[in-house]
A and B are shown apart, each in its own frame.
Chain A
Amino acid sequence: MIEDIELEVFINDVYEYYGFDFGNYSRASLKRRVNRIYQLDGLVNFYEFLSKVKYNPEYFKKVIDEITVNVTEMFRDPSFYKVVRNEILPLLATKPFIRLWHAGCSTGEEVYSMAILLKEAGLLHKSLLYATDINSQVLETAKKGIFPLRMMKEYSINYRDSGGEEDFSNYYIANYGNAKFSEELISRMVFSQHNLVSDTSFNEFDMILCRNVLIYFDNDLQKKAIQLFDESLSFFGFLALGTKETIKYSIPQNRYKQVQKEKIWRKVQ
């Protein structure tokens, strides 16, 4: 187990050597994950770990992978997708062109989920899904659209619970334990590296999804990220967060209207 002060040294050195700033990350979770790497690798000396992080970029990639939490799934929280399907997409349908941004998309499962919803609503051809993450490695996975076949049973249940009526297996080709999702979905996606801590707004969007990313940030950084989303959202655009996250403390309440009980807010002024 590392000490609090060691965690701070780690954060400083990572910033100095690689430019990733974890200074405003929530400590409880960050510490747990640094500890995990530390234990998994059987390290006993913190400074040995630290020099490995600093001087071995390949090892650092592994560390980044672990501490940025890349656990995600397709149609996570089916009731959320149901509301998107039934309430949000009909409103976006009137637009000539629909821009969406998945901020912190990880390996892309939620981006593919959204693309499937857009396709079923007949909107995919006029939509563009921007998907960004701080971690360039996960974006490589996301771009390929290849996910473990063993997950498909669970995902197809989620899909059905979200109101999906098609045969979920129509969206991918099964091959050697993998499920490769269709090119039609991938062709409407743009992947790029973007850091919510340090990068600015890069476009205007009709919907921004950032689910279960802000829980890893402290209050200051949350506020900053939500301001960035606010700047990047068109009027009457939608902001979607994770089921336990809120914009309540970051932005004046009268500017956004919550959609039902879901963590989706519409920019109204």
Chain B
Amino acid sequence: MISNCKIIIIGGSAGSLQVLMDILPLIPKTDSFAIVIVLHRRASDDLTLEELIKVKANIPVKIIEDKISFKPGYLYVAPANYHLLFEKNGTIALDTSGKVNFSRPSIDVSFESVSEIYGNTVIGILLSGSNTDGTEGLKAIQKAGGLVIVQDPISAEMPFMPKNAIQNITPDYVLNPQEILDFILLINKI
């Protein structure tokens, strides 16, 4: 499975930004997969999250606009106040419809959409948070043949979100941030 990954999609809420700040600097540039980050963020948070990630990550950040093409080798961040969706023709679509799990962007919405288009080439990772978002999305990724990782709740600043996922699905792996990093570094290398 981890030899044909095209997309790593990471969902997180409270307490997840620190995990990303720790692991992103250690992931080298790659042509083999794209990283998508869906974090709960304030509606008015314009591009500060993107700027922050840009500083930390080696993988170049592509700022999301309507209908841009989605390609491996880049990092994408779901924009504030929009749901992030994926189109069959390899582009990105945005949606301002109602909040899901009190969130827009919602992790479930993006996870479900990515699983529908990219099926078994998706690795979904759910990090720290205090909301139930992400569980349904992980279910969809798993059902479509993708691989699912949940942050070990013991290692999470806010264990509720990963715990909720573990109670409702059987993830392929439950890992702490260091192990998540080690896992990512092995993707498409075996």
Q: Does B158 contact A (CB under 8 A)?
A: no
Residues 57-100 of chain B, each 1 if its beta carbon lies under 8 Å from chain A, else 0: 00000001111000000000001001001111000011111100
- Report whether A244 and B94 are in contact in the complex, using a CB–CB cutoff of 8 Å: yes
A245 touching B66, Cβ below 8 Å = yes
Contacting residues of chain B (91-136) with chain A, CB-CB under 8 angstroms? 93-98, 109, 112-113, 117
Complex contacts, B48 vs chain A, CB 8 Å? none
Chain A residue with Cβ nearest B65: A244
Q: Are B113 and A219 touching (Cβ within 8 A)?
A: no
A26 at the interface (CB under 8 A from B): yes
Q: Closest CB-CB distance, A252 to chain B, in whole Å?
A: 19
List chain B residues, Cβ under 8 A from A71.
Answer: 96-98
Whether the pair A246, B97 counts as a contact (CB closer than 8 A) is no
A218: nearest chain-B partner, CB-CB = B67
Distance of A243 Cα from B67 Cα, bound (Å): 13
B contact face: mostly helix, strand, loop, or mixed: loop
Q: Which residues of B contact A (CB under 8 A)?
A: 44, 46, 64-67, 79, 82, 85-88, 93-98, 109, 112-113, 117
> By CB atoms of chain B within 10 A, which of A27, A28, A242 has the most?
A28
Min CB distance, A78 to chain B, in Å?
A: 7
Pairwise interchain contact A29-B64, C-beta atoms closer than 8 A: no
- Contact assessment for B44 and A26 in the assembled complex, using a CB-CB cutoff below 8 Å: no
**A43 contacts chain B at the CB level, 8 A cutoff:** no
Q: Quick check: B79 and A27 within 8 Å, CB to CB?
A: no
CB-CB under 8 A from B112, the residues of chain A are 32
In the complex with contacts A69-B96, A212-B96, A215-B93, A244-B82 CB distance below 8 A: yes
Taking CB atoms, residues of chain B closer than 8 Å to A79 are 46
Report how many residues on chain A are interfacial, defined by Cβ distance under 8 Å.
25
The 9 closest A-B pairs by CB, nearest first: A28-B85, A28-B93, A29-B95, A69-B97, A215-B94, A215-B66, A28-B87, A244-B66, A212-B96
Interface string of A75-86 (1 = CB under 8 A from B): 001110000000
A27 touches B87 (CB 8 A): yes
Residue A214 lies at the interface, judged by CB distance under 8 Å to chain B? yes
A260 to B78, CA, bound (A): 23
Known interface pairs A29-B85, A29-B95, A244-B94; 13 further A-B residue pairs with C-beta atoms within 8 A, sorted by A's residue number: A27-B87, A27-B88, A28-B87, A28-B95, A28-B117, A32-B109, A32-B112, A32-B113, A69-B95, A78-B44, A212-B96, A215-B95, A219-B67
Q: Report B-chain residues with C-beta under 8 Å of the C-beta of A161.
A: 44
Taking CB as reference atom, which chain A residue is nearest B140?
Answer: A1
Alpha-carbon gap, A242 to B44, bound state (A): 14
**B42 CB to nearest A CB, Å:** 12
Residue of B nearest to A26 (CB): B93
**Interface residues as binary, A194-212 with B (CB distance below 8 Å gives 1, 0 otherwise):** 0000000000000000001
Q: Is A32 within 8 A of B65, CB to CB?
A: no
* Residues of B contacting A243 in the complex (Cβ-Cβ under 8 angstroms): 79
Closest Cβ neighbor of B80 among chain A residues: A243
Does A33 sit at the interface, judged by CB under 8 A?
Answer: yes
Contacts of B65 in A (CB 8 A): 244-246
A residues near B79, Cβ cutoff 8 Å: 243-244
List, in ascending order, chain B residues with CB within 8 A of A77's CB: 44
